[in-house]
């Protein structure tokens, strides 16, 4: 059942067997396949493809033309830029060595998780078996081949870490040993056991 507060453009192709939370909008020519689950107040842009069984949290924005294949989990608050592609088989083949067509059962799905608050820049490609940490930022056009740490900023092909970002997305500046500050909102962070923690505002 689709709730009355959910807006689905007439040209979108939404399976009857999906769950969509209140206040979510699905724009033109988007396709959402069976057993997908989308949370509340999400925006699913024009031409987005959401494969069967994909799990998406609340307040997620998926920009035009992003392809999200089976095996991907997207937590709440995530931003997916236009044209982002999530892959799900690291060693794809259409045929077997004898030339016969491979079936869907031959597809080896490698999972991908995008954690709370993270952003994936336009045109990026995410390889299987990767976790993108909370509030991490993947620069436009990156090819992500390995896990991305919480609040890490990664760019390029292959994506390499070039720094850390604030929860507001500005790049953090080191101000003293194990203390980083956001130039925009002034929030400070430090590492405890390899994880970045926001300092209480003094």
Ligand X SMILES: CC(C)(COP(=O)(O)OP(=O)(O)OC[C@H]1O[C@@H](n2cnc3c(N)ncnc32)[C@H](O)[C@@H]1OP(=O)(O)O)[C@@H](O)C(=O)NCCC(=O)NCCS
CA angle 45, 50, 56 (to 5 degrees): 85
Residues from 147 through 166 that contact ligand X (CB under 6 A): 155-156
From Zn ion, ligand X, none, interface partner of 156 (C-beta below 5 to 8 A by class): ligand X
The answer to whether the beta carbons of residues 49 and 82 sit under 8 Å apart is no
Using the rule CB under 6 A, is 45 a contact of ligand X? no
182 is an interface residue for Zn ion by CB under 5 A: yes
Distance in Å, CB of 155 to ligand X, minimum:
4
Are 167 and 174 a contacting pair, CB within 8 Å?
Answer: no
Contact string (CB under 6 A) for ligand X, positions 82-121, x = contact: ---------------------------------------x
Nearer to ligand X, 109 or 140 (CB): 140
CB atoms within 10 A of CB 146: 14
Measure Cα distances from 80 to 85, 101, 161 in Å. Answer: 10, 33, 19
Q: Which spans of this chain sit near ligand X (rule: CB under 6 A)?
A: 81, 121-122, 137, 139-141, 155-156, 171
């Amino acid at each position: 059942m689709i709730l009355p507060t959910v807006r689905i453009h007439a040209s979108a192709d939404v399976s009857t067997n999906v769950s969509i939370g209140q206040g979510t909008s699905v724009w033109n020519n988007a396709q959402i396949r069976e057993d997908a689950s989308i949370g509340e107040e999400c925006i699913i842009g024009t031409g987005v493809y959401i494969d069967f069984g994909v799990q998406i949290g609340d307040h997620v924005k998926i920009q035009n033309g992003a392809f999200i294949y089976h095996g991907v989990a997207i937590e709440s608050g995530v931003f997916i830029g236009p044209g982002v592609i999530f892959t799900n088989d690291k060693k794809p083949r259409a045929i077997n060595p004898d030339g016969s067509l491979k079936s869907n059962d031959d597809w080896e799905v490698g999972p991908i998780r995008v954690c709370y608050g993270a952003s994936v820049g336009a045109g990026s490609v995410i390889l299987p078996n990767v976790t993108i940490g909370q509030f991490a930022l993947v620069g436009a056009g990156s090819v992500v081949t390995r896990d991305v740490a919480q609040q890490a900023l990664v760019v390029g092909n292959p994506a390499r870490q070039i720094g850390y970002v604030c929860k507001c997305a500005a790049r953090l500046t080191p101000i003293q040993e194990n203390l980083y500050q956001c130039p925009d909102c002034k929030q400070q962070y430090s590492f405890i056991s390899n994880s970045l923690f926001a300092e209480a505002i003094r």
